[in-house]
Amino acid sequence: MLRLKSIHTYYGNIHVLKGISLHVGPGELVALIGANGAGKTTTLKTISGLIRPTKGEIDFVGVPIRGMAPNKIVRKGLSHVPEGRQVFAKMTVWENLELGGYLEKNNAVVHEAIHRVESLFPVLKKRRHQLAGTLSGGEQQMLAIGRALMGWPKLLLLDEPSLGLAPIVAHTVFQSIARLRDEGMTILLVEQNARAALHISDRAYIMETGRMIMEGPSRELLDHKQIKRAYLGKGYREVWESP
């Protein structure tokens, strides 16, 4: 579905991505994990065309999309949910979702899509006529994801959906992402919450200062001691390790 080969991206003179390769297969939920500043968000922005890489290849559904305008990439079926729950606060939930369906001219189809999103995130149905700004953080995040789903993209890029959410709220967001994958959606998930991301994803990549340092099935990475120490909480110890 998506293939990146040796992508190099600069911000001015700063070499941010130093040869990133990754792939996402159809129906897969792939996590991209790393500390702050590792280049995760830059990777997503490079994929969706917001930043132009200097070197490397990006293929989406078999078509090279490197250098293509972001709106064209969206039309190819790639939806990017940026971090920070960017919903239109002064509009209702319904209107926000309608905006997500801007590519579709037929109203009936748009409404159909809204119903589909509402069945995935029932809370949005309950809040249908509320202003988005009055929603809780978790609900806003679901709205942001729901809006991106309106055109039922082939690939969904999610940037830090748990950012700034209370743990219990983050949990429900992760549950809905897992449910979305079960519905057949292909997802590339960027997360700082490595534990949760590894729990719900099929495979994962670990990034460090613009480079990939490990990749593999999430189950195996969860069991990897170096990853546990680095990303699953400071001073993480196994029960049998003395403090």
Partner 1 sequence: MSDRKRENERIDTQTLEQLQLEQLQSTINRAWKHVPFYKRRFQSHGVEPAGLRAIQDIAALPFTTRQDLGDDYPYGLFAVPLRDIVRISPAPGTTAKPVVVGFTRSDLRVRNQLTARFLSAAGVGDMDVVQICLNPGLSNWARALKEGAEVVGASVMPFTMMSTAKQLMVMEDFKTSVLLTTPSYGMHLLDTMEGLGKSARDLALKTVLVVGESLKDSDRNALEMALGVKVFVGYGPSDVLGPAVAFECPEKQGLHVNEDHFLLEIVDPRNTTPLPPGREGEIVLTTLTARAFPLIRFRTGDVARILEGPCACGRTFVRISTVSGHVGNILTIRGVKTHPTQIAQILAADPKTASSRFLIHLYKENHLDMVEIWLEMTPLLFSDEVKNIEQVLKRLRKHLFQRLGLEATIRLVESLTFDLEDIGPGGVVDHR
For binding to partner 1 (CB under 8 A), which residues are involved? 3, 5-6, 8, 15, 18-19, 21-23, 55-56, 205-206, 208, 211-217, 220, 223-226, 241
Select 44 or 74, whichever has its Cβ closest to partner 1: 44
Select 140 or 218, whichever has its Cβ closest to partner 1: 218
**114 and 106 in contact (C-beta within 8 Å)?**
no
**Min dist. Cβ of residue 112 to partner 1 (A):** 35
Select 61 or 99, whichever has its Cβ closest to partner 1: 61
**Min dist. Cβ of residue 213 to partner 1 (A):** 5
- 113-120 long-range contacts (CB < 8 A, ≥24 apart) are 113/149, 113/150, 113/151, 113/152, 114/150, 116/149, 116/152, 117/146, 117/149, 117/150, 118/146, 120/146, 120/149, 120/176, 120/179, 120/180, 120/183
Select 16 or 117, whichever has its Cβ closest to partner 1: 16
CB atoms within 10 A of CB 125: 15
**203 and 216 in contact (C-beta within 8 Å)?**
yes
**Min dist. Cβ of residue 56 to partner 1 (A):** 7
Select 28 or 98, whichever has its Cβ closest to partner 1: 28
**Min dist. Cβ of residue 10 to partner 1 (A):** 12
Side-chain-side CA neighbours of 185 within 13 Å: the count stands at 28
- Residues in the chain, overall count: 243
Question: In what helix (H) or strand (E) does residue 179 lie, and over which residues does it extend?
Answer: helix 167-182
**Min dist. Cβ of residue 21 to partner 1 (A):** 5
